[in-house]
Structures are given as structure tokens and as C-alpha cells.
Amino acid sequence: MSLLPEKHLSIEILTTAEANILSPCQRQLESPSSHQVIIEVAAAGVNRPDVFQRMGFYPPPPGASDIPGLEVSGTIVAIGTDVRKYKIGDQVCALLSGGGYAEYALAEEDLCLPIPDNLSLVEAAALPETCFTVWHNLFERAALQANEYLLVHGGSSGIGTTAIQMASALGVKVIATAGSDEKCKVCERLGAIRAINYNKQDFVVESQKLTNRGVNVVLDMVGGDYIEKNIAACAQGARIVSIAFLRGSRIDVDFLPVMLKQLILTGSTLRAQPLADKARIAQGVKQTVWPLIAENKFKPVIHKTFNLSNAQDSHRLMETNEHIGKLLLLNH
């Protein structure tokens, strides 16, 4: 730690009379615990949970940094006493519980992954949060299989573009929803067999037409009125996975179709899961998803990059829902 600065640029959430904003500050650089590394951040991913945290709806779990940012890429500049998988100078991307919007970030050794050979250090910052989330929810929780039909809502989002590519590369037939014809075209270029503009068509009707029997798995981040529509869109024995509720988590639902179709409703959040569970997910991603990247079957879609000190601008863009793919903060 002797060659590292005592303090470093970080982006904290500042509460003002008007709104909660992201404000540059200087924070003390903490030492790593025995199984942690310090990463000099090249880039950090911007994710919807960061926006929710800024707004006061998604507080960090106990022990996590109050600085937002759930994923970074960069170079390891210090290691804990018991770190064995990595050494100083290694380039990695990492899933964090917080602290990514900064010049340096603490990461658990088991949640770091090597940079894929055919991606840049900056591009790799777009991988951890979405890859961990999609792998865990679709392939662990929902047991998604090749040749099944998957319905992905928000197909043009960071999660959506990841789910479309990952699932289609593994032999799944993906149907996506998005809010414009342009976004639908992107979803189909990424591998969706059909993208439905939800502002023009009913995704329940269209997915039933396409599959003849309904979809096998739904990945939903919308909630609200989509909950009952998802049930209607499902085939017998389907699984619905909820990962966010942009339209709300409370709604009156007729559960009789759930029973008659023998559906499974599940969901998860990633941030608060125990380290051992996240480490298991990391190994699944490394073993199954990293080879897809090496074979050019999957690449993160990056919409725009911002300087770290302009993090507030990245949140403004995310809140418009006009982006396609990921937003990144660059540490120059």
C-alpha cells in the first residue's frame, strides 16, 4: 500500500434539498482484507440499481461501501495476505457490493475474473453485473435449456442484451420485448428470433402465435401489469424469474393459471447474496460464458462512456431509457 495514495477520487451520493445527486469527493483508500484485492479502476459499469441507490430506494447491504458501483475492470495494485489466484499487475473485471464509482476499488478475490482475450480492459467492465445476474437467474434458478423459448423483457437494456446473446449462443430460442422499432432491430441482430415492440403489439398474443404453446421461461424486470401478462404468456410448466419491478411489485393477480399450468415463480437480487453463492456464480460464468466470449458468440453492447466525474450525466441518460446496452464510467 505504500505506493498508493492515501485518498482517491470517489463519487458519493449527496442529499440536497432538490434531489440526491452524485458528487465527486476524496475518500480514504482502505487496505484489503486477507482475501481481497485493490483494483486501479479503468472503467465502472452503470446499472439500474445504482440509480435506485441514488434515489434512496436500494441501500447497500451491511458492510458494503456507500459509494455506488457494482462492477469494475482494471489492474490489481495490491493484494491481501491470503490471495492466491491473482497477483499485482493482473488485469481483471470484478463484481462488487459497492464502491465501483472510484479511482480504486476493493474486490473479493473470488469475484474477480480475468479479462477475455478478445475484449479491451474497458469493455470488460460491462460484464460482471449482467453476466452474473443472467447466468444465475436463467440457468441456475430457471434451469433454462437449449431449444426452450425464453421471453426477455427490456431486451435492449444491459441485462436484456446480455440475456439475448448468452441464451441464443446456448441454443435457446429468444423472444424479446422493447419500446421502439430501432431497439427491436438491435435485439434481433443480437440473436432474438423475434423482438416485439410493446408500444405497438401485445407480447402475450405475439409470443403465443410464435410458440403455439407459450414460452418456457420469462425474465422480467418490469413487474406491475406485466406480472399477469407473463402468466398468460407461459406454457405448461414454465418458470417466471423476476429481477426488478420498474412498474411496481404489488398487484392483484389471479393465481389459478399458475396452479393449472404448474408454473414456477421465482426471483432474486444479487448484491446481498452470501459471498460463497456469488463465488459459485462466478465459476459458472467463467466456465460457460467466458468461452462464448472467446468464440465471439457474445460481446457486451456499450451505448456510451462518461468520465468518472460526470457520473450524474450517466444516470440522467439511464433514466430516459433511451440507451441500448451498457453505460460505463471511465477513470482517466
Is residue 38 domain-shared with residue 145, that is, in the same domain? no
Count of domains in the chain? Answer: 2
pLDDT for res 2: 52
Is residue 13 domain-shared with residue 99, that is, in the same domain? yes
pLDDT for res 181: 98
Within a domain: residue 198?
yes
Instruction: Answer whether 41's CB lies under 8 Å from 103's CB.
Output: yes
Instruction: Answer whether 328's CB lies under 8 Å from 43's CB.
Output: yes
Residue 279 has φ and ψ, to the nearest 5°, of -65, -35
Whose cell is 423482438? That residue is 195
Q: What is the pLDDT along the chain (332 residues), one digit of tens a residue?
A: 458 999 999 999 999 878 899 999 999 999 999 999 999 999 999 999 999 999 999 999 999 999 999 999 999 999 999 999 999 999 999 999 999 999 999 999 999 999 999 999 999 999 999 999 999 999 999 999 999 999 999 999 999 999 999 999 999 999 999 999 999 999 999 999 999 999 999 999 999 999 999 999 999 999 999 999 999 999 999 999 999 999 999 999 999 999 999 999 999 999 999 999 999 999 999 999 999 999 999 999 999 999 999 999 999 999 999 999 999 999 97
Q: What is the pLDDT of residues 1-10, one digit of tens each?
A: 458 999 999 9
Q: Could you tell me the three cell numbers for 2?
A: 505504500
Instruction: For residue 117, count CB atoms less than 10 angstroms from its CB and return exposed for 0-12, middle for 13-18, buried for 19 or more.
Output: exposed
Within a domain: residue 60?
yes
Is residue 123 domain-shared with residue 137, that is, in the same domain? no
Among the candidates 267, 284, 308, a domain finishes at 267
pTM attached to this predicted model: 0.96
Domain that holds residue 106: 7-127+300-330
Query: What distance in Å separates the CA atoms of residue 211 and residue 33, rounded to the nearest whole number?
Result: 51
Within a domain: residue 49?
yes
Among the candidates 267, 282, 309, a domain finishes at 267
Within a domain: residue 203?
yes
Within a domain: residue 103?
yes
Query: What distance in Å separates the CA atoms of residue 208 and residue 205, rounded to the nearest whole number?
Result: 5
Q: Could you tell me the three cell numbers for 165?
A: 446473446
**CATH number for the domain harbouring residue 152:** 3.40.50.720
pLDDT for res 18: 82
Whose cell is 460484464? That residue is 127
pLDDT for res 19: 84
Instruction: For residue 326, count CB atoms less than 10 angstroms from its CB and return exposed for 0-12, middle for 13-18, buried for 19 or more.
Output: buried
